[in-house]
């Protein structure tokens, strides 16, 4: 469906080896379920899965979902790809913990796209079922792994702790569609 083409490879190149491996594995996981999405969303969902973490290598706000979505928009990626990247894996919760104005997400809201909520859930599932170096994880293993890497009280630890019910619910909705 979507392979890591030259442009994607360039966007992923600045990431650490493990983050690049994670991103590629998330893209491949999304490819494995893309046929369950409405046809008009498949390519965008897979593209967003491969590129969901490109914002880690982009200076800007310092918040990778928004930095990545802004980069992709500047390169002409579709509003759906940018939406999926901006809102991936409970990013709104982390933005709140970081005290980032929630208005930064408004530029990536997309209206009237049938099946977009399911594509969001599938991206969260793909991200949460893929470890930091691309290994397969359950959602609970992934949440535990993230919490173990970050000190209690840190931004990421707090955001994952607060968003865990949302993360599990998205994974359950995606799994129920498989």
pLDDT at 3: 64
Taking a C-beta distance cutoff of 8 angstroms, is the pair 130, 25 a contact?
yes
pLDDT at 178: 67
pLDDT at 177: 75
Q: Both tokens of residue 31?
A: 């490819």
pLDDT at 64: 96
pLDDT at 4: 72
pLDDT at 5: 82
pLDDT at 159: 96
Q: pLDDT under 70 in the chain at which residues?
A: 1-3, 178
Alpha-carbon distance of 3 to 30, in angstroms, equals 12
Alpha-carbon distance of 30 to 47, in angstroms, equals 9
The model's pTM is: 0.95
Q: pLDDT digits over 42-71, tens only? A: 999 999 999 999 999 998 999 999 999 999
pLDDT at 105: 98
């Amino acid at each position: 469906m979507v392979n890591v083409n030259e442009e994607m490879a360039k966007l992923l190149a600045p990431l650490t080896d493990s983050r690049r491996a994670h991103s590629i594995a998330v893209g491949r996981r999304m490819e494995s379920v893309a046929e369950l999405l409405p046809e008009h969303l498949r390519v965008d969902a897979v593209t967003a899965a491969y590129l969901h973490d490109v914002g880690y290598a982009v200076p800007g706000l310092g918040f990778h979902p928004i930095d990545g979505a802004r980069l992709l928009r500047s390169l002409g990626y579709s509003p759906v790809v940018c939406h999926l990247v901006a809102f991936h894996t409970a990013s709104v919760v982390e933005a709140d913990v970081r005290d980032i104005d929630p208005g930064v997400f408004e530029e990536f809201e997309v209206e009237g796209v049938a099946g977009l909520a399911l594509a969001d859930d599938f991206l969260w599932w793909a991200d949460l079922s893929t470890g930091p170096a691309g290994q397969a994880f359950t959602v609970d293993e992934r949440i535990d792994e993230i919490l173990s890497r970050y000190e209690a009280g840190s931004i990421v630890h707090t955001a994952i702790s607060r968003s865990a019910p949302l993360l599990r619910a998205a994974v359950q909705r995606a799994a129920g569609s498989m």
